[in-house]
C-alpha cells in the first residue's frame, strides 16, 4: 500500500515537472536557451518546445520591425543655422543570438546611437540639404547607425527625418527669398511673352506691307470687334501721314507763300556777286582793244599829216566800240614807244 502511494507521488511529480518544462514560442519570436547559464547554439523556432526543468532557461527575442522615434535634437548646420530635427528609425533583429548576448538592451542602444548620429549629420549638412536633399541624408544616417548595430545582430531597415524646425528669423528670410524668386520668374515669363509678341508683330507687319489690303481688313475687323460691344462712340483710327498731309494743306491755304518767298531776298547774293564789275579786267584784257597797235604804231610823219582830226575820224563810231574810245587816252601815251 505504501509502495503504491509512493509510486503515485513520484509519477505526479514527474508529470508536473514535464509540464513545467514546456514552452510556447510565438511566430514573431525566437527562443534562446541557456542551459546552466550557457547559451545553446540551436535557436528555438516558433511552436511548442520542451526544456529541462530547473536546468534550462529560455529568452524570447522579437524579430518584428521596431519603429522607434528619435527625440528632437538641436544642432547647428555647417552654414551656422540653428535647427531642431527629429527622425524615426525602423529596425529589426537579424541575429537573435547576438541581440541576446552582445548587448544588454538593444532597443535602448539603438536609440542612443540614432540620437548621436542625427546630431552628427546635422553638423555636417547645410540648411538647403536638410530641406531639399533629404534622400542623401537618410542614406548617410542609416549607414552611421547600421555600422555599430551589425555587431549586435540588428539590421537598420530605414531612417527618415520627420521635421526640421527653423528659427522665426530664418523662416522670414526664406519667405522673402521665395517671393523674390517667384517675382523674378514672373518677370522673365512676361519678358519672354513680350519678345514673342514683338516677333509675331514684326512678321505680321511684313506680311501687311506686302499686301496693303490686309491692313484695311484688320481695320475693319477691329471696327467690328468694337461695335459688337454696343458702344455709343466709335473710334476710327486714321494714319498719321494723312493727318500730316491735311496739316500741310491747311498751312498752305492760310499762308500763301509770303514767308516762303523771303528766301529770294536772302538769295540776293547777286548783289554781293558784283564781282562782275570787278571782273572788268576781262575788258582790259580783251585782245581787240590791246591789238590797236597798228593805229598807235603810225609813223610820226603820218600822224602829223592826219592830225588830231583825222585820228578822230579813223576811230570807230559804232556803239560796240565805245569801250575803245574810253580807252583812247592810253593811245595818247604812244610817245613811250619812241
Question: pLDDT digits over 204-255, tens only?
Answer: 888 878 877 777 787 778 777 777 766 666 666 666 666 777 778 787 777 7
Phi/psi for 134 (5° steps) reads: -80, -25
The DSSP element (H or E) to which 1 belongs, if any, is: none
Say if CB 209 and CB 201 are below 8 A apart.
no
Highest mean pLDDT among 102-106, 257-261, 331-335: 102-106
Lowest mean pLDDT among 52-56, 138-142, 293-297: 293-297
Per-domain residue ranges of the chain: 2-61, 66-166
**Residues 6 or more apart in contact with residue 207 via CB below 8 angstroms:** 214
pTM, rounded to two decimals: 0.52
The Cα 161–Cα 66 span in angstroms is: 16
Q: What is the mean pLDDT of the chain?
A: 75
Q: Single out the residue of 80, 16, 24 nearest to residue 49, CA to CA.
A: 24
Instruction: Report pLDDT for 324.
Output: 43
**Residues 6 or more apart in contact with residue 73 via CB below 8 angstroms:** 84, 85, 86, 115, 118, 119, 122
Rounded to 10°, the helix 134-149/106-124 angle is 140
The Cα 22–Cα 276 span in angstroms is: 151
Instruction: Report pLDDT for 51.
Output: 83
DSSP, residue by residue, 17-57: HHHHTEEEE-TTEEEEEEETTEE-SSPBPSEEEE--TTTEE
Instruction: Report pLDDT for 58.
Output: 87
Average pLDDT (91-103) is 90
Average pLDDT (306-333) is 45
Does residue 71 surpass a pLDDT of 50?
yes
Instruction: Report pLDDT for 265.
Output: 42
Calculate the alpha carbon distances from 144 to 134, 138, 184 in Å. 15, 10, 41
**DSSP code at position 65:** P
Instruction: Report pLDDT for 184.
Output: 93
Grade residue 56 by pLDDT with cuts at 50, 70 and 90: confident
Q: Determine the 3-state secondary structure of 115 from DSSP.
A: helix
Does residue 19 surpass a pLDDT of 50?
yes
**DSSP code at position 46:** S
Instruction: Report pLDDT for 257.
Output: 54
Q: Which residue has the higher pLDDT, 43 or 280?
A: 43
Q: What is the CATH number of domain 66-166?
A: 3.30.479.30
Instruction: Report pLDDT for 207.
Output: 81
**Residues 6 or more apart in contact with residue 277 via CB below 8 angstroms:** none
Instruction: Report pLDDT for 43.
Output: 87
Q: Single out the residue of 121, 113, 142 nearest to residue 77, CA to CA.
A: 121
Amino acid at each position: 500500500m505504501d509502495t503504491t502511494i509512493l509510486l503515485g507521488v513520484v509519477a505526479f511529480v514527474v508529470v508536473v515537472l514535464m509540464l513545467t518544462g514546456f514552452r510556447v514560442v510565438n511566430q514573431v519570436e525566437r527562443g534562446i536557451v541557456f542551459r546552466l547559464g550557457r547559451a545553446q547554439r540551436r535557436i528555438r523556432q516558433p511552436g511548442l518546445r520542451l526544456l529541462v526543468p530547473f536546468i534550462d532557461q529560455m529568452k524570447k527575442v522579437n524579430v518584428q520591425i521596431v519603429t522607434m522615434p528619435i527625440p528632437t535634437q538641436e544642432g547647428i548646420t555647417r552654414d551656422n543655422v540653428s535647427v531642431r530635427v527629429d527622425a524615426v528609425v525602423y529596425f529589426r533583429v537579424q541575429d537573435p543570438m547576438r541581440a541576446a548576448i552582445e548587448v544588454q538592451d538593444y532597443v535602448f542602444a539603438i536609440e542612443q546611437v540614432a540620437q548621436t548620429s542625427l546630431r552628427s549629420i546635422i553638423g555636417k549638412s547645410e540648411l538647403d540639404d536638410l530641406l531639399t536633399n533629404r534622400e542623401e541624408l537618410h542614406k548617410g544616417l542609416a549607414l552611421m547607425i547600421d555600422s555599430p548595430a551589425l555587431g549586435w545582430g540588428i539590421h537598420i531597415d530605414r531612417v527618415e527625418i520627420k521635421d526640421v524646425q527653423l528659427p522665426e528669423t530664418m523662416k522670414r528670410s526664406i519667405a522673402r527669398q521665395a517671393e523674390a524668386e517667384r517675382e523674378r520668374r514672373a518677370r522673365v515669363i512676361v519678358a519672354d511673352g513680350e519678345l514673342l509678341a514683338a516677333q509675331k508683330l514684326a512678321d505680321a507687319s511684313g506680311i501687311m506691307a506686302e499686301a496693303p489690303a490686309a491692313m484695311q481688313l484688320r481695320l475693319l475687323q477691329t471696327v467690328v470687334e468694337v461695335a459688337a460691344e454696343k458702344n455709343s462712340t466709335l473710334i476710327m483710327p486714321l494714319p498719321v501721314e494723312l493727318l500730316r498731309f491735311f496739316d500741310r494743306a491747311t498751312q498752305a491755304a492760310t499762308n500763301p507763300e509770303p514767308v516762303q518767298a523771303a528766301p529770294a531776298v536772302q538769295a540776293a547774293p547777286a548783289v554781293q556777286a558784283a564781282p562782275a564789275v570787278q571782273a572788268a579786267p576781262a575788258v582790259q584784257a580783251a585782245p581787240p582793244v590791246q591789238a590797236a597797235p597798228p593805229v598807235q604804231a603810225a609813223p610820226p610823219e603820218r600822224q602829223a599829216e592826219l592830225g588830231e582830226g583825222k585820228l578822230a575820224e579813223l576811230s570807230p563810231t559804232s556803239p560796240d566800240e565805245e569801250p575803245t574810245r574810253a580807252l583812247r587816252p592810253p593811245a595818247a601815251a604812244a610817245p613811250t614807244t619812241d
